[in-house]
Amino acid sequence: MTQERNYTPNTGGDRSIHLVGHVGRVVGCCRDLLGGCVRALAGSGGHCCGQPEGSVMGCTGGSVIALAGNPNTGKSTIFNALTGSHQHVGNWPGKTVEQKAGILKHDGQEIVVVDLPGTYSLSACSLEEQIARDFIVKAHPRVVVNVLDSTNLERNLYLTAQILEIGVPMIIVLNMRDLAEARGITIDIHRLAQQLYNTPVISVAASREQGLAELKQTIATFMTPQPQVACRLDLVA
Amino acid sequence: MSSTTQQMTLDQVPVGKPVTVVRVGGEKVTRRRLLDMGLVSGETVIVQGVAPLGDPINILVKSYSLALRKREACQITVEVQV
Amino acid sequence: MSTTHMSVPTSPSSIRYDHALEAEITRLSTAITQVSELRSMYRPRWLAIQLLEGDEQLLAEVQSLPAAEAVLRTLDASSAHLRELFGEDVDVLLTDQRYSFVNSLARDVLTHPAERRRTLSEKIDRVVTNRVLSIPIFLALMWIVFKVTTDVVSPFVDWIDGVITGPFTNWVVALVGVVGLSGTWFESLLVDGVIAGVGGVLVFVPVLMSLYLALAILEDSGYMARAAFVMDRLMHTLGLHGKSFLPMIVGFGCTVPAIYATRTLDNEKDRILTGLLVPFMSCSARLPVYILLAAIFFPEHAGLVIFGLYLLGIVTAVLLGFLLKHTLFKSQTHVPFIMELPPYRVPTLKAIWKQMWERTASFVQKAWTVIMVASVVLWFLMAIPLRGSGTFANTELDNSAFAMVSRSIAPVFAPLGFGNWEATGSLVTGFVAKEVIISTTAQIYAMDAAAVETEAATFAGELAAIATSFVDATVETLKAIPLIIGINLFPEEAEAEPSSLMIAMRDNFAASSGGHGALAALAFMVFVLLYTPCMVATAAARHEFGNKWMWVSIVGQLVLAWVAALVVFQGGLLLGLG
Ligand SMILES: Nc1nc2c(ncn2[C@@H]2O[C@H](COP(=O)(O)OP(=O)(O)O)[C@@H](O)[C@H]2O)c(=O)[nH]1
Ligand SMILES: [Mg+2]
């Protein structure tokens, strides 16, 4: 039993090791993301990541991040701010749900950003929930950026709890900071981060472009090649 | 508190009266949706209004507005202070 | 701007449930860890929780693995045990506890102002979803959307049409002249086939941009959810969703934006069903056909006939919607209506512009091939001489392959009273675009529209003309804005009627129907109302709902139109009308 075959939260790391070096290739894959991977994924519960490496899945883990959150929390605003004009809009394969992917350029890195459909939950009860969940669970994004509306944490954190359970790396973005401030709502983000098992928490006002530089930086820390020591040692052992 | 409580379903609650959710029933999908939206037991809910043709109702839960049909609302048992 | 201390991202943990639940979760995830297929794919704890919650998709996946039998046994035992212990289904327990985690977390990190003030959204909703005011507000907004997508943009539609058929065509002709192919069939193909096709797509650009502008504002502001809230009761009795109302209204202007407007519906079934019904809202391009025929055959009651046709379209949609909802679109499980009424927000210009641009561009990309092919095929049919002395691209329409094809289809329409090639031919071109029914008819009866005067034009002069005509279009649009509220500040002069065409058509319908021309014309109008609105609408349906639904839509409409026209004509004969 090797480590590689076990579930690890950072699966993307070891799968993509062959590919990550080639930015061009990754970007090439990203275009394909809308075709290959996601098609296989969103299809009838395709077992994408069970496939051997070299399959399209190899490239998704590579430099892909996903934006998840309730509807109307500012995901698309953040997506646009991150990716600028490097975007591709289409439909999720076979579905009438709009799919958006774009490229975030940061320090010479190219990171694929996928704007998942807005959902309140990941129960897979609706099409949107199914798409969002399958992507998070099966495409192994490097990190899920969970966007929350600061004026309604009581409901928004429910999705956060569910993403936490999946065991995928996460960044919490508390958006609409301006509105929360105007209403006199304060959030202790250090405490929140601590209570959420040290998940990074960033407060932003996306439509005013506040806090986005910090978000990019935080995303970048998830993109540096993961220490592969554990896996490698395990393989050797 | 000495006040007594009375149980009813959410579709019968008058506008503006705060009530507490006791139980959510109904078909699996409906129940799951309602729970996911925050209608869990112990939650306080206020009916904010009724659509002009009498059907969907607009409730305030977890400080946001949620619209649901009476068919869904009657699956939610609530407790009212009387 | 502050953030937490960033360290190397650690493997995240998740919330803890109470003892009894945790014990079963651990038991189940241990069983899952034994199955390598599951272990390599999912975090065992997560999968255990999903299975306990009753996730059907994942359960089916586990059931398909022979090695996972132990997992299923453990699952059954755990679920039964928990249900007995708590007297509740496990999904209720898990959601409850997840929310208690969220509640205690929120209490821990949130500081609310002491007194909760009513938010602006709640105040606006007191007016907008008010029992008395909500419906008038809703209808007024729908009226504005309708007017904007029809009257207000029409000067721009005319401008694009003018630029393409005018300067742009002239330039292409000039270029063709440069390479020495002037006056050949190639020139005709470019001008009458290809450019006509391009124009056919581009004239929809202003319409769609205005629709997407309206949609973006309605959606981003938060009003759309209120519209659904207000109309849900009515639309629900018709088997539709509150949000279906807007596409229906837009459909009276043009079916193409109406099909795209179904995007606002969240449920796929509702979206497709609405998309199937929208074409029965008689679009504005069909109106000239009604006007012409009603003027010829029902001069006394033209208004009544036209109104009746609109009504017939609505009734058809309602009945068909009801029928489909209880047959093809019957859902096994009841689809609940549980919808957030999001806070009102002022939409940002950037976001609106982006949506407008992206969606319109996407339409152009998807639609142009279909329309180009249709346009070129039609050109070839009209260009090929099958009899007479004409040559390729230079033949009488009567002798062309187009007439031949129309003649061979015509018998299908004989029972409807208009089984001649002229009427059939105009229906064939009407499949490409309803606007051209009249012009084809004129062409068929060899009533050349006013001879085109060609002026010697300079390139610079034409560029200037494009610019000034754009300014004119803008001015026209501004003038059209008061029309939204029904004030016409700029009355137009009435158009002259093409009387010779009318006489020819009257004789023709009378001949094909054995002397019951009026009845045949009525059947023809009913057919025009109910069959495929146009090629572009077809392309839009394919873009939105896929090939299968496009064909269902085309075939369904043809059958329905044929049957309805048959009932009108034969029924009328039986009743001794006409
Ligand atoms: N006041 C405020 N509004 C925001 C902020 N971020 C986004 N919005 C607005 O919130 C609305 C919903 O944003 P959108 O990005 O479409 O949300 P999505 O549904 O999650 O994709 C839009 O009208 C945005 O302009 C913010 O930080 N402050
Ligand atoms: Mg969005």
The DSSP string of C123-160 is HHHHHHT-TTTHHHHHHHHHHHHHHIIIIITHHHHHHH
Strand, coil or helix: C326: coil
Q: Is C34 left (phi over 0), alpha (psi -120 to 50) or beta?
A: alpha
Please give the Cα distance from A132 to A68 (Å, whole number).
7
In which domain, by residue range, is A79 found?
A: 5-220
Where residue A59 sits, what CATH number does that domain have? 3.40.50.300
Q: Which residue has the tokens 């006002």?
A: A205
Ligand 1 centroid to Cα of residue A64, in Å, is: 23
pTM of the predicted model as reported, rounded to 2 decimal places? 0.77
Assess whether pLDDT exceeds 90 at residue C443.
no
Where residue B64 sits, what CATH number does that domain have? 2.30.30.90
pLDDT tens-place string over residues C352-372:
888 888 778 877 876 777 778
- Quote the number of domains for chain B: 1
Residue range C395-410: mean pLDDT, rounded: 86
Q: Does domain C19-109 have CATH number 1.10.287.1770?
A: yes
Q: Tell which B residues from 20 to 59 touch C, by Cβ distance under 8 Å.
A: 24, 27-38, 40-41, 43, 48-56, 58
In terms of Cβ atoms closer than 10 Å to its own Cβ (0-12, 13-18, 19+), residue C388 is exposed
Please give the Cα distance from C161 to C157 (Å, whole number).
6
Q: Which residue has the tokens 């009318």?
A: C502
Q: Give whole-number Cα distances, C430 to C266, C374, C378, C382, C424, in Å.
A: 33, 12, 11, 15, 10
- Whether A232 maps to a domain, the answer reads no
So what's the ipTM on this one?
0.93
Q: Tell which C residues from 96 to 125 touch A, by Cβ distance under 8 Å.
A: 98-99, 101-103, 105-106, 108-113, 117, 119
Neighbour order of strands in the sheet with B44-50: B5-9, B76-81, B18-24, B44-50, B57-61, B64-68, C338-341
pLDDT tens-place string over residues C184-206:
788 888 887 788 777 777 877 88
- Quote the number of domains for chain A: 1
Q: What is the DSSP-derived secondary structure letter of residue B14?
A: P
**Which residue in A83, A96, A99 has the most chain C C-beta atoms within 10 A of its own C-beta, making it the best mutation to test that interface?**
A96
Give the least confident one: B24-33, C442-451, C472-481.
C442-451
Ligand 2 centroid to Cα of residue C393, in Å, is: 51
Assess whether pLDDT exceeds 70 at residue C333.
no
Counting residues of chain C whose pLDDT is more than 70, the rounded percentage is 90
Assess whether pLDDT exceeds 70 at residue C29.
yes
Tokens of A90: 């289409």
The DSSP code sequence of chain A is --GGGS--TTHHHHHGGGTTT-HHHHHHHHHHHTTHHHHHHHTTT--GGGSPTTSTHHHHHHHEEEEEESTTSSHHHHHHHHHTT-EEEEE-TTSSSEEEEEEEEETTEEEEEEEPPP-S--SS-SHHHHHHHHHHHHS--SEEEEEEEGGGHHHHHHHHHHHHHHT--EEEEEE-HHHHHHTT-EE-HHHHHHHTTT--EEE-BGGGTBSHHHHHHHHHHHHSPPP-HHHHHHHH-
- The chain B residue lying nearest A151, using CA atoms, is B63
In which domain, by residue range, is B11 found?
A: 5-81
**β-strands A64-69, A143-149: how paired?**
parallel
Residue range C72-94: mean pLDDT, rounded: 89
What is the model's pLDDT at position B78? Answer: 95
Ligand 2 centroid to Cα of residue A118, in Å, is: 7
Assess whether pLDDT exceeds 60 at residue A60.
no
Higher model confidence: residue C177 or residue B9? B9
- Whether A42 maps to a domain, the answer reads yes
Q: Give whole-number Cα distances, A212 to A100, A105, C183, in Å.
A: 19, 13, 61
